[in-house]
Chains A and B, each alone.
Chain A
């Protein structure tokens, strides 16, 4: 699955849905929520799929948007917003992990540290 040491192929760009999320499984059963925001320079964002407040793997099913210019996803359970750039929850003390992403070699790739 790896192209070089740390970039992992996750899925095809076609698997993404513009302005919405999908979920992928990487490595040791880790769930990653992937969002495609064509208007943003990063274009693809990736965070862990687990909602730490609702305690369920649902973040990819949230609505994406922006808050004061910052791209966000709102959890579908209780609607807290998480920054897609930093993973920080805007309303409460909580955070999710963010991953670097890119589209290369025909794949959506995630950088594993």
Chain B
């Protein structure tokens, strides 16, 4: 290879972008690669796999896989809106529709595919659309805004995703499928039936064995579909999702070899019939096969990149596994290998639980030794295990049916150590168990380390649980103890201590320490125990037996600042406050010369209060009708809100009333970490609910509930948990989620990290909370009702208790103030004096 190599990539979809990443990552120092990327779309690569989340509120930016800045920093030359119209193979150059041309040494076609629109008369009218790009989504959204009924033509994987999008847009939704069942490629007839029932239960009408013969003007709706059996279906809009066709025109025009039914023919290195031109992803045909999944596309991208870079240990593409696990309209679907039992001599085991909507089938070889395929509908818990049996050809147990039977005793689980090093753990990024072992050998010692080192589980995330078990078992085999003790005084995790407190009805730290701990405790276990006792019993936290457990903030019911003074934050539920209360807060600030600032959570922070001033400040505030804001606790803080439908032109629900109701419901609850909520009155999301632990966004049919978002050190977008909930279901779900979090999270674990570590993730949380999968919903609700019922304004209680007030004195033997606390004035308010200012005696503000 020459010292300089010009690589041009046509297409910037997921696969095209992955190829750029691979080239950047794998390039060697001695070769300079000039990369040019041409995207026919108006934006750079985005995540098409999660496209339907666009209608659940995810922005185009949120779906983006890269941005201009990243490409600039990689020195990748890129063009958007650049459609390539010609390849001049002789001169090795390509040209775009605006006349720009680029020379190449190696050309990569990553042009993807386009949706197939069956030639149905009338199918070219307005409101007849496809589902493929962000531009398509915008068109769908626009059409949906003037439609009430929508039809998806095509009941495959993409068709069901499109149907979900229509449903999310609030349309009455139909799916029309030519075959006698849904998802005919991946799922067998029995599975198709269960899938159909589940999807119909969600309010989508399914019509199978229907061929559309024409689309004409409707009577009650905009259009009428006329089927070949002469039945009709009225609809306002139509989405075609009848399969994909490879974008291979460019290759045809320059006489590259293409398949009979389309697709650019490639070899093991992903080269086309011209060795300097590669094709990858959905435009490529390998062994008469088009791979319509992202994982094989990524493998091709890697193979092509390695071949272009002439790496000595370059991989070869030799086909890919088409097994898939996904969630369609909240229905779990898994398909592995030979789902239709087409292999000669294949035998099947099937388990059907129709009432619960569960269907499981495994297909085994004639000798019952190996797994050939599987179909899982409604419950995909066994997917990972089954996939490993298939991919690694692991011998099946004597009774293979135990793999899918729910009541089977001694259910064989495939431990991480049973897997060979070649086992693929993350199929999106093609990470094997061997790669993970290697990362651990090189010093990774947590799942997060392994993740950042190998990129495993950073694609669809479906392998997270398996990844964790591989990492844990590898660490264990190296003698690394995966320790969960909270500190040297308790050999238990927070979760274990929580159970101990609850089950043994322990009411004090001393009792807990005597029975289960050692030593005197410390600043780790004491506040943890304090928080657990508060979460279980919700007693007054400054009661004598709890006093010494509290962190200083809880101990003085205020937040300690750097100079030892405190801030005072009265509760302002939902951010709504009367002018009278606002004035009173201002008066208090004025009287005590406190620095005043509006917080990020729609409250007012008063800084610079000395410990001895806290009771008098709070007395005034409480007399004015304010109450403690728990800003000091690992507890429920604020519920941010926009003004909602009461004032806003766009609001669809009363977000303020909901925010106030929620704040008042959960105020005072103590949790493993602080909790923040927000309620937005429409999808414009002015309250930024998707960055909160509990985020609620109004829809015109109710509320969408988002969970486990987080600002903070490691921001996390909240996950959509459930949609279009009525008020009481919303509250019920929040009750259960919060109680489950409080009972099971580790010490100081925020909801975001808790969810990420929850085995089974969001889907599991949904099962627990929505379906009562483990039968705890009633006890969760009961727990929540009990602690809510014991709410108190801790400052009100404290002010009534002369013993408690004694501690709010700087000195036990003097009425002096702490001389070290000194302020200077800045922008008309106080701030703590710096050390230099103190030593220069540039004092300062008069001490009250």
Q: Which residues of A contact B (CB under 8 A)?
A: 10-11, 15, 17-20, 22-25, 29, 31, 34, 37, 39, 50, 54-58, 61-69, 71-72, 74, 76-77, 79, 81
Known: A11-B813, A23-B810, A62-B523. A29 touches B819 (CB 8 A): yes
For the residues of A in contact with B, the DSSP-based class is strand
Known: A50-B820, A68-B488, A69-B519. A24 touches B811 (CB 8 A): yes
**Which single member of A29, A50, A68, A76 contacts B552 (CB below 8 Å)?**
A76
Stretch with Cβ within 8 A of A (4 or more), from B266-274, B350-358, B560-568:
B560-568
B502 within 8 A of A: no
CB distance from A103 to the nearest CB of B (A): 14
Q: Which residues of B contact A (CB under 8 A)?
A: 488-489, 519-523, 525-527, 547-552, 555-556, 560, 562-564, 611, 807, 810-814, 816, 818-821, 835
Kindly state the separation between the CA atoms of A17 and B549 in the bound complex, as whole angstroms: 12
A65 with B818: CB separation less than 8 A? no
**Which single member of B520, B560, B611, B820 contacts A65 (CB below 8 Å)?**
B520
CB distance from A8 to the nearest CB of B (A): 10
B816 with A25: CB separation less than 8 A? yes
**Which single member of A20, A29, A31, A79 contacts B548 (CB below 8 Å)?**
A20
A63 with B813: CB separation less than 8 A? no
A25 with B548: CB separation less than 8 A? no
Chosen A-B contacts, 27 in total, with CB atoms closer than 8 Å, are: A10-B812, A11-B812, A15-B813, A17-B807, A18-B548, A19-B520, A22-B812, A23-B810, A23-B812, A37-B520, A50-B820, A55-B835, A56-B563, A56-B564, A57-B564, A62-B523, A63-B551, A65-B522, A66-B520, A66-B522, A69-B519, A74-B522, A76-B560, A77-B560, A77-B564, A79-B523, A81-B523
Kindly state the separation between the CA atoms of A103 and B550 in the bound complex, as whole angstroms: 27
Kindly state the separation between the CA atoms of A74 and B522 in the bound complex, as whole angstroms: 8
**Which single member of A37, A57, A66, A69 contacts B820 (CB below 8 Å)?**
A57
Kindly state the separation between the CA atoms of A55 and B832 in the bound complex, as whole angstroms: 12
A25 with B560: CB separation less than 8 A? no
Kindly state the separation between the CA atoms of A19 and B810 in the bound complex, as whole angstroms: 18
Known: A17-B807, A24-B812. A77 touches B555 (CB 8 A): no
List of A residues within 8 angstroms of B563 by Cβ: 56
Give me 11 other A-B pairs in contact (C-beta within 8 A), A19-B548, A22-B807 excluded: A15-B813, A55-B835, A57-B818, A63-B549, A63-B550, A63-B551, A64-B520, A65-B521, A77-B560, A79-B523, A81-B522
List of B residues within 8 angstroms of A58 by Cβ: 552, 560, 564
Kindly state the separation between the CA atoms of A95 and B666 in the bound complex, as whole angstroms: 43
Kindly state the separation between the CA atoms of A25 and B555 in the bound complex, as whole angstroms: 21
Kindly state the separation between the CA atoms of A22 and B807 in the bound complex, as whole angstroms: 8
Q: Who on chain B is nearest to A72 by CB? A: B522
A39 with B520: CB separation less than 8 A? yes
Kindly state the separation between the CA atoms of A58 and B552 in the bound complex, as whole angstroms: 10
List of B residues within 8 angstroms of A50 by Cβ: 820
**Which single member of A37, A57, A63, A68 contacts B527 (CB below 8 Å)?**
A63
Kindly state the separation between the CA atoms of A61 and B548 in the bound complex, as whole angstroms: 10
Q: Who on chain B is nearest to A39 by CB? A: B520
A63 with B526: CB separation less than 8 A? yes
**Which single member of A10, A39, A65 contacts B526 (CB below 8 Å)?**
A65
A63 with B820: CB separation less than 8 A? no
